[in-house]
Structure 1
Amino acid sequence: MSVKQLPETLINQIAAGEVIERPASAAKELIENAIDAGATRIEIATAGGGKSLLRVTDNGCGMSPEDLALAIRRHCTSKISSTLMHIRTLGFRGEALPSIGSVAKLSVRSRRPGDDSGSEIEVIGGKVSPVRPAPANPGTVVEVRDLFFATPARLKFLKTERAEAGAITEVVKRMAIAFPAIRFVLSGPDRSTLEFSACGKDSLARMGQVLGADFAENSIEIEAEREAVRLTGFAGVPTFNRGNSAHQYAFVNGRPVQDKLILQAIRAAYSDTVPYGRYPVAVLSIALDPAFVDVNVHPAKSDVRFRDPGLVRGLIVGALKEALARDGSRAATTGAAAMASAFRPGFSPFHRTPQPGRAWSYETSPSRPVSAPAAPASAPQFAERAQAGFDSMAAPSARLDRAEDLPVEERDHPLGAARAQIHENYIIAQTADGLVIVDQHAAHERLVYEALRQSLATRSRASQMLLIPEIIDLPEEDCDRLMAHAEDFAAMGLGIERFGPGAVAVRETPAILGEVNAVGLVRQLADEIAEWDHAASLAAKLDYVAATMACHGSVRSGRRLKPEEMNALLRKMEATPGSGQCNHGRPTYIELKLADIERLFGRS
């Protein structure tokens, strides 16, 4: 069989298999071209999830008739000339338009700002029409219809119109975050109109448009540099998390990427603060010399390769961990908002509903008894006697004093002063401008965990000897697993020895845990070691051990605390990094400002 040259149309269709995987891929390529053309306004219109219609309109520099004829030919571009070492544009391969034209009905209409008229060219299934004059505004309009009509097999692998439209929306969101000075409008009969107004250089404002207004007040600014690699952006506090990684955005020299190294670094930085199955929200931008990063890994240009991947990963993990230790202990404001929304004016245990059209008042409130008697003249005296009765029944630690009665040093603390404990698990603390509700078990669990991690870092254990060693019977394989990590356990104050083939003896327990069920702790450690991924790093395994020990040694739910114990817990939380969430990523406290409380009661 002899070797032969493939036809140009077939070559383009083969290339389109990698460059244009779905309508969102075509949208990404066309938006990149518009940005490279200097556009400040980009409008995207779709129909049928982008399969029937995809139109991208920009006000960029436009093209001449000669440029238009070359633009639909493979490997024709204005972005690079002779090297791939200094790519500073989004597009550079010169494959997008010819690839789209080979599998769809493509038309490109363009006009340069100084020209009297515009021009247009069409490519239908790889067949190119001559360039002809056409009326056009300054800029370029690229219209793609019937995507993949020339390759019907590809159509069978596309998802529903709703899913394809959603993928295009995600592309626009990533581009919008990367270029806040550009106005983006996404519309069409298959969607509601989405508009991101230009924000100039205010990248956080654009992030708020895309990620929601809550992101600004629940994020931490990131700024770090190492060996000419600069990292900037914003990362959400650990309790501000989501159910998937779609809210993690990464950019390299302004290019939106979905690089595994960056995503894994974000996950590693949040590993001990966000629960399994939840994902942090982050927008990170990496700037470095273009010669030190390869963006030509894949035709889709969503993957990159760094010359020194270890440097980049270390920079991301280090910067995020430092930021979280500095400012990540605060709870997400969404917790307070969710709690406030749970309160409903006029709540009634009888669940009675006022008649339609009637305004709420005391007379119509479902909480009011059906036949409320008139208040007697002695009502004030009755109220005083009732209040006295309540005061006599209240426990000393549960009485609420006036804010001015608090010592100045207590009122000035971020978490305030403990005023009550309810349900033997939740501490109510009064601050200078509101109140804080603390989950005592979750909070103390975090404190113990951080102390154990510190002992690991310094290799200085604090243990307490057992008067009589605890002998624990276990399967021989579990004993083997435990003894393989005996030295690491000892660094945290847990001393174990082999006691025959099927048992271990516990001689020491971590002092910070106090009285602990050694049998339950060791059995759980044995079970978890058996479940470990052996490819995981030792540091990750030891953190997991520390989290397990912390859970066993923390203040349990149901334990009554004295006022001084509650205040000591609050002070320790304020001094401990990451105390805003427990080891499983749940919030340890929720804060309500006085203005929020007054709003609940209609006082504001």
Structure 2
Amino acid sequence: MPEALASQIAAGEVVERPASVVKELLENALDAGATEIELITQGGGCALIRVADNGCGMGKEDALLCLERYATSKLASLEDLSRLHSYGFRGEAIPTIASVSFFLLQTRNEEEPVGTEVTVEAGKLLSVREIGRDRGTTVEVRSLFSRFPARRRFLRSPAREQAHLQRQLVLAAIAEPSTTFRFRHGSQAGWTVWPATGVREDRLAAIFGTGWVGALLPLQGRRAGLSVSGFLSRPGIGRPSREEQFFFVNRRPVESRMLSAALQEGYRHSLLRGLYPTAVLWIEIDPARIDPNVHPAKREVRFREEREVWSLVVDAVRESLEQRSSVAFPEGVHPRGVAEPAAAGYGPDGGDAAPAGEGRIEASFAPVVQDELPAPIEARAAPTGGNRGRLLGVLGSLYLLVETEKGLLLVDQHAAHERVLFERLLAGWEGAAGGAQPLLQPVVVTLPARDAAALGEELPALHRLGLELREMGGGAFSVESVPARLASLDLALFVQKLGADLADRKGSGAIGKAEAERLAGIVCRRAVKAHDRLSSVEAERLLVELFACRNPDTCPHGRPTWISLSYGELERRFGRSGSPGGCGFF
């Protein structure tokens, strides 16, 4: 096969669209140590992509050598792959780009008195000449795929292609906040500039705006040789796509189904199904524990200990969401002397707290029976700074109206009660470790090979939770004992789902997830319903217990439990000047 034809075939894997060219050229500039990068594009990148940097540049010999396939200065041996710190390493990008475009390279390093210009068209070298220029490299790619109409037909409109390459620019800018990026697209007259900063938050604010960053929650997690940090959207807030999810592994932007799934798992009871959280996550890990050579375009990485990474991300996300304390009522709303939820009702001593004619709802609002609720949840310490509240009443027999120092709060009583009961039940489950109930007749369950392998790895952890299984070989397991809370379940079906879940999720805690799903269904049936009338004592008690929850912002299904109207918003709605309560709720 001719070399030119081989390069053009390889280009289909490395250069899928104009955004692929932008990605490769930006990564080359960053690997060259550039502190300033300029990007110009036209026609969605098909007409022109121009990347200029002030990096180390190349001499004439290297400028010609970089056009050869698999020529790279970033790897000297196979062992270098296990300690890789550069973005590029395959040596394929430049020759494949040059094989499907009109390609111009201008470069100079500090050792050379003059620069070098190389021109290539569709893989054919046209000219090499000396030029005067500063240190650094400029690459122009014109008429991308012009000689390959079949490839052109698979491209989208210029606007769509522009959006794809814009994302690659954003990824590179987030990865390297210490580099200044200037860019101009299409007929844009001036430059858009993201100045260099050593602070990730500042770079995110420059790209997305301070409001976008200010609405996110910080995230931190660390284990031996592994850490995750970043920012997350608040509970209950999501988007219909994953467009605002950005993952970086050792600064490298990556696409990872596993990381996306772990992120979603962390939001399991904080976000409605069908919505995806906003997140910017940075994973730091020993390069020897990952394989970046999974895809020719280097979009993916493979983790050697995938379960450990999964577990760290899930735990860090949950911890970040649980530390979120939206609203507290340290002094303004009190349960009027009610010390603990009563066994028979929600009022003091289980008695009828509602005045005559107020429609007591003892049956639907009573806590779950004692064997499912061993103890009430413990309230977290209310944050200082005061967001005192006063219950005003109930709107439409559903929404509790609360006046606070910053505005008006509307609390969905059904969603709020679901959250309260859910956390009580979950606390009871988490505290039930060791409470195993032996079965008179063991239950034998046979699983597919993949599910059986995943379940077998977790047998010690499951045993500590009270679920004792004995591996019998051939994918079969004997269920010997179970936690008392699972005794009434279809154990065969439960173990089958548990094995599939462990195999799919690649992380710990799947048994907690399975039980949590069951608890969510119980909660939904037990919680106070819309149009159930609460006494003032019941409503106040519900508010206190809601904001003592680890995650008071959403019900177990991800719906919001409350919304707010700040004084600033009310002032704007009524066309008044001034803002006595501040312009934001937070």
TM tier, smaller? 0.7 to 0.9
TM-score by length of 1: 0.71
Structure 2: how far apart are the matches of 1:101 and 1:294? 27
Partner secondary structure for residue 26 of structure 1: helix
Bigger mean CA deviation after superposition, 431-440 or 242-251: 431-440
Cross-structure match for 1:361? none
Aligned length: 470
Deviation digits for residues 210-260 of structure 1 (CA, Å, limit 9, x no counterpart): 344333232221122111111111111122311111111110100000012
Q: Which amino acid in 2 is paired with 1:429?
A: V
Cα separation, partners in 2 of 1:92 and 1:274, compared to 1, 3 Å:
same
Q: Which amino acid in 1 is paired with 2:46?
A: K
Structure 1: how far apart are the matches of 2:401 and 2:223? 44
Q: Which amino acid in 2 is paired with 1:232?
A: S
Cross-structure match for 2:259? 262
- Work out which of the residue numbers 48, 54, 58 in structure 1 matches 2:53: 58
- Work out which of the residue numbers 169, 172, 177 in structure 2 matches 1:172: 169
Structure 1: how far apart are the matches of 2:547 and 2:309? 32
- Work out which of the residue numbers 408, 418, 427 in structure 2 matches 1:435: 408
Q: Which amino acid in 2 is paired with 1:298?
A: H
Deviation digits for residues 460-506 of structure 1 (CA, Å, limit 9, x no counterpart): 9xxxxxxxxxxxxxxxxxxxxxxxx9x999628x9689xxxxxxxxx
Matches within 5 A, 1:492-511: none
Partner secondary structure for residue 89 of structure 1: coil
- 8 A Cα contact 1:410 1:416, kept in partner: no
Q: Which amino acid in 2 is paired with 1:266?
A: L
CA deviation after TM superposition for structure 1 residue 411, in Å: 11
CA deviation after TM superposition for structure 1 residue 579, in Å: 1.3
Structure 1: how far apart are the matches of 2:91 and 2:407? 59
Bigger mean CA deviation after superposition, 148-157 or 61-70: 148-157
Partner secondary structure for residue 142 of structure 1: strand
- 8 A Cα contact 1:42 1:56, kept in partner: yes
Cross-structure match for 1:579? 552
- 8 A Cα contact 2:432 2:483, kept in partner: no
- 8 A Cα contact 2:197 2:203, kept in partner: no
- Work out which of the residue numbers 512, 523, 535 in structure 1 matches 2:500: 535
Cα separation, partners in 2 of 1:181 and 1:411, compared to 1, 3 Å:
closer
Cross-structure match for 1:367? none
CA deviation after TM superposition for structure 1 residue 596, in Å: 4.0
Question: Higher Cα Rg: structure 1 or 2?
Answer: 1
Deviation digits for residues 370-419 of structure 1 (CA, Å, limit 9, x no counterpart): xxxxxxxxxxxxxxxxxxxxxxxxx9xxxxxxxxxxxxx99976462212
Structure 2: how far apart are the matches of 1:197 and 1:410? 36
- 8 A Cα contact 2:256 2:300, kept in partner: yes
Partner secondary structure for residue 243 of structure 2: helix
Cross-structure match for 1:147? 144
Structure 1: how far apart are the matches of 2:111 and 2:394? 74
- 8 A Cα contact 2:401 2:408, kept in partner: yes
Deviation digits for residues 24-79 of structure 1 (CA, Å, limit 9, x no counterpart): 11110001001111122222222221112111122222222222111211122222
CA deviation after TM superposition for structure 1 residue 159, in Å: 2.0
Cα separation, partners in 2 of 1:410 and 1:455, compared to 1, 3 Å:
closer
- Work out which of the residue numbers 304, 308, 311 in structure 2 matches 1:307: 304
Q: Which amino acid in 2 is paired with 1:103?
A: V
Q: Does 1:603 align with 2:577?
A: yes
- Work out which of the residue numbers 406, 422, 434 in structure 2 matches 1:449: 422
- Work out which of the residue numbers 247, 250, 254 in structure 2 matches 1:250: 247
- 8 A Cα contact 1:199 1:205, kept in partner: no
Cross-structure match for 1:37? 32
Structure 2, unmatched stretches of 5+, are 329-357, 359-381, 434-478, 503-510, 579-586
Partner secondary structure for residue 81 of structure 2: coil
Q: Which amino acid in 1 is paired with 2:577?
A: R
CA deviation after TM superposition for structure 1 residue 132, in Å: 0.6
Cross-structure match for 2:458? none
Partner secondary structure for residue 586 of structure 1: coil
TM-score by length of 2: 0.73
Identity in percent: 37
Matches within 5 A, 1:103-502: 103-112=100-109, 116-189=113-186, 195-327=192-324, 414=387, 416-459=389-432, 491=485
Cross-structure match for 1:11? 6
Partner secondary structure for residue 565 of structure 1: helix
- 8 A Cα contact 2:388 2:405, kept in partner: no
Structure 2: how far apart are the matches of 1:51 and 1:433? 52
Deviation digits for residues 138-185 of structure 1 (CA, Å, limit 9, x no counterpart): 321111111123433222222222221111011111111111222223
Structure 1: how far apart are the matches of 2:173 and 2:545? 42
Cα separation, partners in 2 of 1:410 and 1:257, compared to 1, 3 Å:
closer
Q: Which amino acid in 1 is paired with 2:217?
A: I
- 8 A Cα contact 2:259 2:310, kept in partner: yes
Cα separation, partners in 2 of 1:488 and 1:563, compared to 1, 3 Å:
farther
Cross-structure match for 1:594? 567
Structure 2: how far apart are the matches of 1:212 and 1:422? 36
- 8 A Cα contact 2:227 2:284, kept in partner: yes
Structure 1, unmatched stretches of 5+, are 1-5, 332-394, 396-408, 461-484, 498-527
Cα separation, partners in 2 of 1:104 and 1:289, compared to 1, 3 Å:
same
Cα separation, partners in 2 of 1:107 and 1:193, compared to 1, 3 Å:
same
Q: Which amino acid in 2 is paired with 1:261?
A: M
Cα separation, partners in 2 of 1:169 and 1:11, compared to 1, 3 Å:
same
Cross-structure match for 1:48? 43
Partner secondary structure for residue 82 of structure 2: coil
Cross-structure match for 1:553? 526
Cross-structure match for 2:23? 28
Q: Which amino acid in 2 is paired with 1:570?
A: L
Bigger mean CA deviation after superposition, 187-196 or 50-59: 187-196
- 8 A Cα contact 2:84 2:287, kept in partner: yes
Q: Which amino acid in 2 is paired with 1:548?
A: G
Cα separation, partners in 2 of 1:565 and 1:488, compared to 1, 3 Å:
farther
Cross-structure match for 1:73? 68
CA deviation after TM superposition for structure 1 residue 277, in Å: 0.9
- 8 A Cα contact 2:102 2:143, kept in partner: yes
- 8 A Cα contact 2:103 2:120, kept in partner: yes
Structure 1: how far apart are the matches of 2:237 and 2:428? 29
- 8 A Cα contact 2:35 2:54, kept in partner: yes
Partner secondary structure for residue 501 of structure 2: coil
Structure 1: how far apart are the matches of 2:392 and 2:264? 38
Partner secondary structure for residue 418 of structure 1: strand
Structure 2: how far apart are the matches of 1:426 and 1:168? 46
Partner secondary structure for residue 19 of structure 2: helix
CA deviation after TM superposition for structure 1 residue 430, in Å: 2.0
Cα separation, partners in 2 of 1:211 and 1:582, compared to 1, 3 Å:
farther
- Work out which of the residue numbers 80, 86, 89 in structure 2 matches 1:89: 86
- 8 A Cα contact 1:122 1:129, kept in partner: yes
Structure 2: how far apart are the matches of 1:114 and 1:241? 52
Structure 2: how far apart are the matches of 1:311 and 1:536? 16
- 8 A Cα contact 1:411 1:431, kept in partner: no
Structure 2: how far apart are the matches of 1:164 and 1:184? 20
CA deviation after TM superposition for structure 1 residue 584, in Å: 2.6
